[in-house]
């Protein structure tokens, strides 16, 4: 009996040693994390989520790889990810600017909203500072096409589009009075007490892209399984593929409708070019559209009465 127990103990020790050796040989994947629109109240909260999630992914990898997190607070920091990270968990607008293979997406999505102080209307924002979380190169068009339904050219109507590191900072600028309004995900905790002026369709808060194909390809199946099995918390359950929200994010990055829809002639023999019908429903009234008389087509700024 004693001999049998000794054999079992020896086998157990050997198994533990073998597992440790396998873990030592496993490739380490560095996960870059840049999710400025995610509903975190502070940088510390975002970093803590990233550390927990990446540790959970590593635990579910069953020895296929080890992992550590590299959290980026600003777009300019995240832009230097090449050669530094192997897997990138990032804002859909950020990844849409890059030719990465998108292999998974977080289940949490939100619609883009325009928030301001109580008593403010969209009309009051003409020429004013509007803050936003800087994630992609086409942020202004993206916000115009989502929260403003493509009916207002944000880059020319507002006095300044001021980029901030995340949605919490953008909304904080409104509270501090350094910005008149802010684009942020609808329902973001930092928007409590602010007025919702306009709201658009859903977009991708987080998608997963392959930054280092050579390291990720051999463990891709294990990576996808580990992502799906890990607790995504504020970003929801991660699922394979880019997801519909990412497709919508990419599609909403072109020029706003108000800059691309031809004006129509109206007024009989004294016909003049007029702006197309406006579909945006929001608070307040904006000045009439300025139409390019030479081209007969291109209302610059419009908003419903």
Question: Residue 111: pLDDT above 70?
Answer: yes
**Is domain 24-109+205-251 classified as CATH 3.40.190?**
yes
Strand ranges (E), the chain: 27-34, 65-71, 87-90, 101-106, 109-116, 129-133, 160-164, 181-185, 195-204, 207-210, 238-240, 264-266, 272-274
Question: Residue 204: pLDDT above 70?
Answer: yes
Contact assessment for residue 69 and residue 51, using Cβ atoms and an 8 Å cutoff: yes
Question: Residue 64: pLDDT above 80?
Answer: yes
Question: Residue 72: pLDDT above 90?
Answer: yes
Class of domain 111-201: alpha beta
The structure's pTM equals: 0.79
Poorest-confidence range of 58-62, 255-259, 299-303? 299-303
Equal CATH topology for 24-109+205-251 and 111-201: yes
The pLDDT value recorded for residue 136 is 85
The pLDDT value recorded for residue 297 is 43
Question: Residue 289: pLDDT above 60?
Answer: no
Q: In residues, how long is the chain?
A: 305
- Helical packing angle, 43-60 and 220-229, nearest 10°: 120
Distance CA 55, CA 36 (A): 21
Using CA atoms, how far residue 222 sits from 21, 69, 107, in Å, is 19, 18, 20
Helix (H, G, I), strand (E, B) or coil at 86: coil
Give the start-to-end residue ranges of the domains of the chain: 24-109+205-251, 111-201
Of all residues in the chain, what percent carry a pLDDT higher than 70?
77
Average pLDDT of span 92-105: 93
Poorest-confidence range of 210-214, 237-241, 290-294? 290-294
């Amino acid at each position: 009996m004693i001999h049998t127990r000794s054999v079992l103990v020896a086998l157990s020790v050997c198994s533990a040693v073998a597992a440790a050796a396998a873990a030592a040989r496993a490739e380490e994947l560095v996960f870059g994390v840049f999710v400025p629109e995610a509903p975190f109240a502070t940088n510390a909260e975002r970093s803590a989520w990233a550390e927990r999630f990446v540790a959970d992914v590593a635990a579910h990898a069953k020895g296929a790889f080890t992992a550590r997190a590299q959290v980026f607070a600003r777009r300019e920091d995240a832009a230097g990810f090449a050669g530094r990270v192997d897997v990138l968990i990032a804002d859909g607008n950020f990844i849409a600017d890059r030719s990465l293979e998108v292999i998974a997406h977080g289940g949490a999505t939100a619609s883009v909203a325009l928030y301001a102080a109580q008593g403010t209307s969209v009309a009051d924002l003409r020429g004013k500072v509007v803050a936003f979380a800087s994630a992609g190169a086409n942020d202004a068009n993206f916000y115009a096409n989502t929260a403003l339904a493509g009916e207002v050219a944000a880059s020319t109507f507002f006095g300044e589009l001021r980029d901030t590191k995340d949605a919490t900072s953008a909304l904080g600028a409104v509270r501090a009075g350094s910005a008149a309004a802010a684009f942020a995900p609808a329902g973001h905790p930092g928007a409590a007490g602010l007025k919702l002026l306009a709201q658009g369709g859903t977009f991708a808060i987080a998608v997963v892209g392959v930054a280092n194909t050579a390291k990720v390809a051999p463990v891709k199946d294990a990576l996808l399984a580990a992502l799906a099995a890990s607790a995504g918390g504020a970003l929801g359950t991660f699922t394979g593929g880019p997801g519909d929200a990412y497709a919508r994010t990419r599609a909403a990055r072109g020029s706003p409708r108000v800059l691309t829809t031809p004006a129509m002639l109206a007024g009989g023999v004294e016909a003049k070019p007029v702006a197309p019908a406006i579909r945006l429903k929001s608070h307040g009234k904006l000045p009439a559209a300025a139409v390019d008389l030479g081209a007969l087509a291109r209302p610059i700024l419009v908003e419903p009465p």
